[in-house]
Chains A and B, each alone.
Chain A
Amino acid sequence: MSGGVAERARGAWPARRGWRRGAARDDAAGRLVVTLPGAVPGWVVRLVPPLLVLAVGATVASESLAWAVLLGLAALATLRPGGLVPVGLTAVLAVRLMPVGDPGLVLLAGLVLGVHLVAASAGLARHVAWRALVDPAALGRAAADLVPVQVVSQALVLVAALLVRGAHVPSGSLMSLALRAVAVVALVGVLRAVSPRRRR
């Protein structure tokens, strides 16, 4: 093999650190070491929302179409975790539960917890880069923020299960009134969200 051919053959290989004496360094810069005991790698946090989407969706998905939608949502949660992911998952669950009616207390409580976990983890993952480090105390604060909303949600699940036990709610019944009250609260929240805010 002539020298030129040998040189071209060597050049075809990517230059790796330590592979050849005098080669270019592929790591163009050094690393900053952050002293953060128990830090969680960013990629772990970024993978939580898609895994949760698949885990929560698997409890109700049986058709290939539902699985396809769930996989799409998981892909979206991996690449662009944001508000669309929990809304999409809730929509899929709602469509699957609509004909079923009563999924049972434990499953319903699990689904409500799952939807909330997906929303919270997507909200966290949105601010974490793949190569970032996450302070374990930040995860603790995320879990602490989760508790009040989840307690109220689970209380409502319990109340609903006790009142109607999964039956259709006849109009004018207590459960129907309770549900309408919740809907009114939600509407007030929406109106406040869209109304112009005063500067403080």
Chain B
Amino acid sequence: MNERPRTWWLGPAVALQLGGGVLVLLAGVLAGRPAVALLGVPLVLAAGYAQLSDDPYGPVPDARVELGSDPWTARVLLDAPARSTWVRMRLSRSGHVPREVLLAPRAELEVTARSVRTGPQELLAVDLQGVGSGGAATSEVVRVPGRVVAVPPRARRVVDVPVPRRLRGHTGQHDSRRPGEGGSLRDLNPMGPGDTLRRVDWKVTARQSPDLEQLWVRRSFALAEAHVVVMVDSRDEVGPDPRTWSGITAVHPDEPTSLDLARQAADSLTRAYLAAGDRVGVEDLGALRHPMRPGSGRRHADRVRRWLSLVRPFGAPRELVRAPRVPSGALVVVTSTFLDSEAADLALLWRRIGHRVLAVDVLPTLRTAHLSARERLALRLVRIERTDRLAALEAADVELVRWADASADAVLRRLTVRRRPR
């Protein structure tokens, strides 16, 4: 006995067409009407062919999904058996309307899903069914699960970024308070031990000492680098529609969530600091992951971007026993929605220790016009608490930037001007 499972089934249409065709054929024959009999011939022939070519244990179509030229494009590589006249395909991706396609067996198919969402997401799930014998036979459905791909954030160009009050090291692009090489002019001084001839300012010397009794040298500030730690609060991911905050309905793929904004903010600020030669570390406040140690350079920027593209809410948020350690004198950037007090408490703690703290509010601009009265009331309560929290941060000298606003870059520039180190 053959133990192979059955994979193809003939539909009831075959028996119906065969039976109907034979009846019409017999009626024409018995009535002596060849025209009537001939009407049943195509039905009998088509159904008979489907019946004769039936193979209930034949191979079924299969497919492989590969990443296309970008994270939003998938290539479906199809492997259809010869008996499949057509292949029925159902393409689905989270947040998108499933699409059905009827294909002739072909090598591959390209599917694009436009989305502004970043982070880990399912590329494309495919359901396949072979259709044979002119639609009379169908195979079992094969499900090809979607691969998870990490979509990197798209950085926004940030021109000016605030720096910590204390700068460190002897490299970088910021002027430190110490005299040294490379920085801007500190003062003019009579030449002393240790001053090289290259530093002599001949114009000043000619003015101050026409008889060349004393040489005058230009002294400059040393260069230094800033240490920055970016804290990403991945505990919640909310969209602009408060109705989706329950998690039952999906956020539209054209709308960025708070975590998309957090990834973008962290990536943009990281790139801006690294472009200035600073050292940047990144840490996740929501999940137990290894933090990105502070580093500098373009490769570090790419590592941070890959790290950020894997940030996602992971189960129930853990309670922090102690605040993550931050290097002395570092600027702390906290990206959060501040819908609860944990991130705000940590920001206050770091500020009290003496760090300069930049709170980046990544809550998207909310759409509230369609909410019911109860939902509006609930949202209002949440907003009151959040507004109080943000006001407490500002009162404690934590600088606040709302990333969803178009003015975020201007606010950052203003912070740079106000806190320029001397």
Contacts and interface: CB of A to CB of B under 8 A. Distances in A.
B88 A34 contact: no
The 7 closest A-B pairs by CB, nearest first: A83-B13, A123-B135, A87-B20, A83-B16, A24-B370, A137-B104, A116-B42
A32 B91 contact: yes
15 contacts: A22-B366, A22-B370, A25-B241, A29-B252, A32-B92, A35-B112, A83-B13, A135-B106, A137-B103, A153-B42, A166-B35, A182-B41, A186-B21, A189-B18, A200-B56
A145 to B, nearest CB: 5
Q: Name A's interface SS.
A: helix
Interface of B: 1-2, 4, 11-22, 24-29, 31-49, 51-52, 54-57, 85-86, 88, 91-93, 95-104, 106, 109-115, 124, 131, 134-136, 138, 241, 243, 249-250, 252-254, 366-370
Contacts of A21: 369
A182 B104 contact: no
A138 B102 contact: yes
B39 A90 contact: yes
A115 B20 CA distance: 12
A187 B91 contact: no
Given A42-B102, A127-B131, A199-B2, 17 more contacts: A23-B370, A24-B243, A24-B370, A30-B96, A30-B252, A90-B20, A90-B39, A94-B28, A94-B39, A103-B35, A112-B42, A119-B46, A123-B134, A132-B100, A138-B104, A189-B22, A200-B56
A51 interface: no
Given A108-B35, A133-B99, A180-B29, A83 B24 contact: no
Contact of B134 (A28, A101, A142, A192): A142
A193 B51 contact: yes
B111 A33 contact: yes
Interface string A32-50: 1111100100100100000
Identify which of A29, A39, A141, A176 gathers the most chain B CB atoms within 10 Å of its CB: A29
Given A29-B96, A123-B136, A199-B56, A138 B86 contact: yes
Contact of A145 (B2, B85, B110, B367): B85
B35 A102 contact: yes
B39 A22 contact: no
B85 A101 contact: no
For this complex, into which size category does the number of interface residues on chain A fall? 35 or more
Given A32-B112, A135-B101, A153-B38, A90 B96 contact: no
A27 B252 contact: yes
Nearest to B254: A30
A71 interface: no
Contacts of A186: 21-22, 25-26, 40, 44, 48
A100 B40 CA distance: 17
B57 A199 contact: yes
Contact of A149 (B42, B96, B98, B136): B42
A141 B86 contact: yes
Given A97-B39, A179-B28, A183-B26, A135 B103 contact: yes
B48 to A, nearest CB: 4
Interface in A99-142: 100-103, 108, 111-112, 115-116, 119-120, 122-124, 126-129, 131-135, 137-138, 140-142
A166 B112 CA distance: 59
A53 to B, nearest CB: 14
Given A83-B16, A152-B45, A192-B51, A33 B56 contact: no
A23 B21 CA distance: 57
Contact of B367 (A24, A87, A129, A169): A24
Nearest to B51: A193
Nearest to B15: A193
Nearest to A102: B35
B17 A119 contact: yes
B185 to A, nearest CB: 53
A57 interface: no
Contacts of B135: 120, 123-124, 126-127
Contact of A86 (B17, B45, B100): B17
Contacts of B254: 30
Nearest to B138: A127
Contacts of A94: 24, 27-28, 36, 39-40
A91 interface: yes
A148 B42 CA distance: 10
Contacts of B249: 28
A197 to B, nearest CB: 7
Nearest to B136: A123
